Amino acid sequence: MADLSINLAGIQSPNPFWLASAPPTNSGYQVQRAFEAGWGGAVWKTLGEPIINVTSRFAGLNFGGQRVFGFNNIELITDKPLEVNLKEMDETKRRFPKHTLIASLMVEHKQEAWHEIVKKVEAIGVDGLELNFGCPHGMAERGMGSAVGQHPDLIRQQVEWVKEVAQTPVIVKLTPNITDIRFTARAASQGGADAISMINTINSLMGVDLDKWLPIPHVDGKGAHGGYCGPAVKPIALNMVAECARDPKVGIPISGIGGISDWRDTVEFLLMGATGVQVCTAAMHHGFRIVEDMIDGLNNYLDQRGIASVMDIVGKAVQTYSDWGHLNLNYKVVARIHEETCIHCNKCHIACEDTSHQCIDIVADAATGKERLVVREEDCVGCNLCSIVCPVEGTIEMVEIPSAKAPLSWNQRQAALAAGGSCEL
């Protein structure tokens, strides 16, 4: 059994699986059920001035007959008075002292407001704070949430205010609704944040009702943009985590969030620099019990590789993530189609023919009279499209063609040319 416990900027947790601040962490009842199910931690639904919610709050994106590839919501922060939340948090922490309880906070842009709420929540013994600079809907219109997260100066300022009084580690939750998240991550770091978490949800309109011509969801005939999350956002989140992880100017631990649905997603985020993950949509889709396979799968993955602690994989793939200008222009892969498992759906042919480089031919075999798919390797650019559309895993393999030439990146090439040298591709 591998050691699954983590240490995120001084915050200890029995495992890397936390529930993100969201509807699943709205009450003591829910968070305690989650801890019973095995979740290592929970970030409580954002505390602040209680709000009024609308009804009709969520929508799902279905794809290919599957439900909830994506998900969005227009629910705001907690609608309960702070005292009620604190009482339930206190009760939860007493029942589950070893589990990680984080308070998510969002107040107006005032030093006293931040000081006051930090002191109140730390008094009941939370393990850390998460500043919600990410919520893109509703609260942002009132100058909070992502309205803060889109301005490095505001982030830096508010983190500083929090750090003036905070006794526990401070995590800053960032919005992805921004051109380059590294700038806001750096601002958090400069303000003294102990960690960052990302991503919060993405501005989104889930759909339009084809019969009523109304936004989905709508509230009495009107809709507003919501926060988008779920499996579909994972690649966006993973990129942002990796970009921050490899940026020396950020330099603080990351809690990964965004479409994480199982242990495989978790391993990817950890390898790309996250120390632990936060989950919401998958739990909302299937319930808290999904954490069982997350724990089991992660443990088996580590055991099978002889890795003693989950912390040993954190960031291990970060150095492989780079800029385009550093990629080797002399590296070449081509598609190889394995006849023995090919089912002749010919999707590779038409994908290549119509939308890529026209190098997969349907050739009638003179001996058998049957058709074969043949890659003209000299014309193959190694784009991977055929292997992506092939329905039978492993049937189209991208094979490396060894190059006689030394590795050469675009940056190296340009540098060599600038220095007056020649450059062979």
Q: Which residues would be at the binding site for another protein (CB under 8 A)?
A: 64-66, 341, 343-347, 349-350, 362, 391-392
- Please, is 317 exposed, middle or buried when counting C-beta atoms within 10 Å of its C-beta (0-12, 13-18, 19+)? middle
Question: Which C-beta is closer to another protein: that of 351 or that of 408?
Answer: 351
The nearest distance, CB 340 to another protein, in angstroms, is 10
Question: Which C-beta is closer to another protein: that of 392 or that of 401?
Answer: 392
The nearest distance, CB 347 to another protein, in angstroms, is 6
Residue by residue, DSSP assigns 308-367 as: -BGGGGTTTTGGG---GGGSBTT--EEEEE-TTT-----HHHHHHHHHS---EEEEE-TT
Question: Which C-beta is closer to another protein: that of 341 or that of 403?
Answer: 341
| 215 Cα distance to chain centroid | 26
Q: Give the active site residue among 135, 229, 280, 348.
A: 135
Residue 373 DSSP label: E
The nearest distance, CB 393 to another protein, in angstroms, is 10
* Helices of type H across 128-255: 146-149, 152-165, 181-190, 234-245
Question: Which C-beta is closer to another protein: that of 343 or that of 417?
Answer: 343
The nearest distance, CB 335 to another protein, in angstroms, is 16
Instruction: Take residue 279 and report the two structure tokens written for it.
Output: 């989950």
Residue 3 DSSP label: B
Question: Which C-beta is closer to another protein: that of 176 or that of 231?
Answer: 231
The nearest distance, CB 151 to another protein, in angstroms, is 43
Of 186, 245, 254, 242, nearest in space to 6 by CA = 254
Instruction: Take residue 278 and report the two structure tokens written for it.
Output: 């936060």
Residue 129 DSSP label: E
Q: Could you give the CA distance from residue 243 to residue 271 in angstroms, rounded to a whole number? A: 13
Question: Which C-beta is closer to another protein: that of 351 or that of 383?
Answer: 351
The nearest distance, CB 293 to another protein, in angstroms, is 23
Residues in the chain, how many? Answer: 425
Q: Could you give the CA distance from residue 132 to residue 226 in angstroms, rounded to a whole number? A: 16
The nearest distance, CB 288 to another protein, in angstroms, is 26
Q: Could you give the CA distance from residue 257 to residue 47 in angstroms, rounded to a whole number? A: 19
The nearest distance, CB 395 to another protein, in angstroms, is 9
Question: Which C-beta is closer to another protein: that of 68 or that of 181?
Answer: 68
CB contact set of 140 (below 8 Å; sequence gap of 6+):
146, 147
Of 280, 265, 168, 164, nearest in space to 228 by CA = 280
**Is 229 noted as a catalytic residue in this protein?**
no
Question: Which C-beta is closer to another protein: that of 83 or that of 340?
Answer: 340
Q: Could you give the CA distance from residue 17 to residue 305 in angstroms, rounded to a whole number? A: 20
CA distances, 396 to each of 341, 357, 382, 386 (Å): 9, 16, 12, 7
End-to-end CA distance of the chain: 49
CA distances, 342 to each of 11, 374, 396 (Å): 50, 11, 8
Residues with active-site annotation:
135
